[in-house]
Amino acid sequence: MTVLANSLSLPVMARAPIPAVDRCGRPPASSEMDANARRLAAGVARGEETAFREFYDAYYGRLFRLVFVLSRGDDSLAQDVVQAVFLVAAAKLPAVNCEEHLWNWLARVARQQLSKAWRQQQRESAVIGMAEVPDCSDNAEPDRLLEESLNAALLAMDAEDRELVEWFYFDRLSQREIAERIGGTPKAVSSRLERARAKLRSLVLRRLSHET
């Protein structure tokens, strides 16, 4: 089924391929991941809802991890930014040559959308000055270091809190689904999640302060 980008309920140009060596430094057929990235990008560009859903599932977790750290542990802002990235991808995702090319494009859009969100916050609140808006340029820390910061923060949490965070943010289980899994209530899960994300935010900020 073919759909237009603005008809997708979820956050939702074919172009001539660019020589892969320019972006990836290796032949386009060198890996299954590269072939899959090209297939997904082409399907999203054609407006195929199935391809978009697969693309969303494949990259949501990794994007959230990146933006969560870039936003200094602001989970609500991170979720909004990730949704914005997928909206941009639904409308403007270019042809790609490899998985690295696709990820670099997504990461760049994520930084742009986060900077846009911070500027909007700055305009909406007189108490936020430009000097207080964190830098989010294309020269930000390498993605690998950011992901390592989040992973280290998660490992520093109690096992139960870490599992709760991973279920909710990365596996995208609802509070009701988590409650059924652990034999509790959605209200209890909500309270535990609030405490767990406060711990995670504190650990991420502490980790980043040591690296910057």
153 and 107 in one domain?
A: no
Q: Note the pLDDT of residue 124.
A: 54
Q: Note the pLDDT of residue 22.
A: 44
- Give a yes or no: residue 24 inside a domain: yes
Residue that terminates a domain, selected from 72, 107, 130: 130
103 and 167 in one domain?
A: no
Q: Note the pLDDT of residue 85.
A: 95
Q: How many domains does the chain have?
A: 2
126 and 181 in one domain?
A: no
DSSP of 126-188, one letter per residue?
A: TT--GGGSPP--TTSPPHHHHHHHHHHHHHTS-HHHHHHHIIIIIS---HHHHHHHHT--HHH
Q: CATH number of the domain that 18 lies in?
A: 1.10.1740.10
Q: Note the pLDDT of residue 143.
A: 66
- Give a yes or no: residue 2 inside a domain: no
What six digits make up the tokens of 88?
């941009």
Reduce the DSSP state of residue 42 to 3 states and report it.
helix
Q: CATH number of the domain that 199 lies in?
A: 1.10.10.10
Contacts 24+ apart (CB under 8 A), 171-177: 172/60
Under 8 Å between Cβ of 96 and 37: yes
Residue that terminates a domain, selected from 130, 162, 188: 130
171 and 90 in one domain?
A: no
Residue that terminates a domain, selected from 130, 163, 187: 130
Under 8 Å between Cβ of 49 and 55: no
112 and 56 in one domain?
A: yes
Name the pLDDT band for 144 (thresholds 50, 70, 90): low
8 or 149, greater pLDDT: 149
Reduce the DSSP state of residue 2 to 3 states and report it.
strand
Domain interval for residue 203: 141-211
Q: What is the pTM of this model?
A: 0.66
Q: Out of 45-59, 73-87, 144-158, which region has the weakest mean confidence (pLDDT)?
A: 144-158
Q: Which residues pair with 89 in a beta bridge?
A: none
Mean of per-residue pLDDT scores for the chain = 78
Highest mean pLDDT among 31-35, 88-92, 150-154: 88-92
Name the pLDDT band for 95 (thresholds 50, 70, 90): very high
121 and 148 in one domain?
A: no
126 and 71 in one domain?
A: yes
